[in-house]
Amino acid sequence: MRKGLILKLGERGAIVDVGLKRDGFVPQRDVERLGEKTVEELKVGQEVATRIVRPWDRDGNLVLSLYQARLEKDWVRAKELLNSDGIWRGEVNGYNRGGLLVKFGGIRGFVPASHLWKLNSRRTSTDEGRAKLKAYVGQELPLKVIEVKRARNRLILSERLAQRQLRKQNMERLLDELLEGQVVQGTVTNLVNFGAFVDLGGADGLIHISELAWRRIEHPSDVLQVGDEIEVYVLRLDRERKRIGLSLKRLQPSPWGLVDEIYTVGQLVSGTVTNVVNFGAFVLLDSGVDGLIRVSEIADPPPSDPREMVQRGDVLVVRILHIDSLRHRIALSLKRVSDRERGEWLAQQPRGQSVETEESGDSSFESKEKRPMFVYTAAAGRG
């Protein structure tokens, strides 16, 4: 490798002074490999890096290469990025069934599909997978160099590792900038059984499923969808574990604040069974709060399995036994509502609400022998 000054540019190539007894010659085909934009920028007197290809050719010329010198610089740069753990941004200019192609100077780099941040690599052989890879063309991605093999002309990069490093850096920044109790905007990036992840600006916070709504929900998709832009309440900042806890329900008025005004002990209310567990059934009341019917309050004698008596989706008339608004608890009873009371309560419902009992031929029940007569469905008039 030698540095030199361009003495002449012509149709046959370039003459370069590299500080030796003879000037070097760069063939035109080598110059053209640099690319149209680079060739246009070359001028007489410019300092360039060269590589000696042959000390002399048949005509006694010292043959140089600008293209190979640039490649050598690119390989050195790639090795430096590999050793320094740095991040490089490059534009995707192609793809194949295995991943993406990027131009690293004069080197063709490869990003395997398994190293893309948001792509399932197992599906890249399908038409849908290839379409997703094609959509990357023209995009600029943050990338980390993970393998450099000059002899095999092999340069492998990873978007996934670059994104992990960037998000770690962004998480540290957010933990320094955010305050508990602050309201910020974010975008829903993922929904899992235990909650929703929200991008706050390069790093995700988590809304636990219990913080999505005041009512009991089965899955975060009941409330949010990926891509939703929402405001969230910063619930807690865990700087040691690098986690941000968020809440959606804290930005909504709590129905528990009105419970003491709406309900009284002994009152009859209706509600929908949202979940049945071994110790009882959770019932969503019209106000949006959950109450619990313990298995001992379902029937006399108590069923061995509450699911024999009630199922998710059942609409019940129940009696309030206890209210603890501070602890967000309401105890309910099913067995303490007589058939007469249930009938009178149903008769008092507003006009326009249609009530179907099992006795009237509701075909939605699986087994009429096992199902009790206290279950009804309201076809209208419920939120």
And the tokens for 240? 């040691």
CA distance 94 to 103: 9
**CB 118 within 8 Å of CB 189:** no
Which residue has tokens 């002994």? 266
Q: What share of the chain has pLDDT > 90, as a percent?
A: 47
pLDDT, tens digit, 9 for 90 and up, residues 175-196? 999 999 999 999 999 999 999 9
Average pLDDT for 234-239: 93
Quote the pLDDT of residue 83: 92
Select from 282, 283, 274, 280 the least CA-distant residue to 298.
280
Contacts for 377 with CB less than 8 Å, ≥ 6 apart: 315, 355, 356, 362, 364
User: Would the pLDDT of 15 be above 60?
Assistant: yes
Residues 146-167, mean pLDDT to the nearest whole number: 92
Quote the pLDDT of residue 81: 93
Top pLDDT among 245 and 348 is at: 245
Residue 334 has pLDDT above 90, yes or no: yes
Check residue 124 and give its pLDDT: 62
Give the residue-averaged pLDDT of 272-298: 90
Give the tokens for residue 69.
């010198």
> Which residues does 204 contact at the CB level (< 8 Å), separation at least 6?
167, 189, 190, 197, 198, 244
Q: What is the mean pLDDT of the chain?
A: 85
Tens-place pLDDT, residues 42-94:
888 888 888 888 887 777 778 888 878 888 888 889 999 999 989 999 999 99
Close Cβ partners of 284 (under 8 Å, ≥ 6 residues apart):
215, 216, 271, 272, 273, 274, 290
Flag whether pLDDT at 111 surpasses 80: yes
User: Does residue 325 have a pLDDT over 90?
Assistant: no
- Asked whether 50 and 1 are in contact (CB, 8 A), the reply is yes
Q: What is the pLDDT of residue 364?
A: 36
Closest alpha carbon to 147 in 158, 139, 137? 158
**The pLDDT value given to residue 376:** 60
> Which tokens sit at 235?
């619930």
Question: What is the set of domains in the chain, with CATH numbers?
Answer: 2-71 (2.40.50.140), 85-163 (2.40.50.140), 178-251 (2.40.50.140), 264-378 (2.40.50.140)
CA distance 374 to 317: 8
* Omega within 30 of 0 (cis) for the link into 350: no
> Can you read off the two tokens belonging to residue 218?
């089965």
Asked whether the predicted pLDDT for residue 362 surpasses 70, the reply is no
For 169, phi then psi, to 5°, come to -65, -40
Is it the case that residue 261 has pLDDT exceeding 50? yes
- 282 in Cβ contact with 290 (< 8 Å): yes
User: What pLDDT is recorded for position 121?
Assistant: 57
Q: How far is CA 324 from its chain centroid?
A: 38
Residue predicted with more confidence, 278 or 106? 278
CB 230 within 8 A of CB 212: no
pLDDT of residue 360: 35
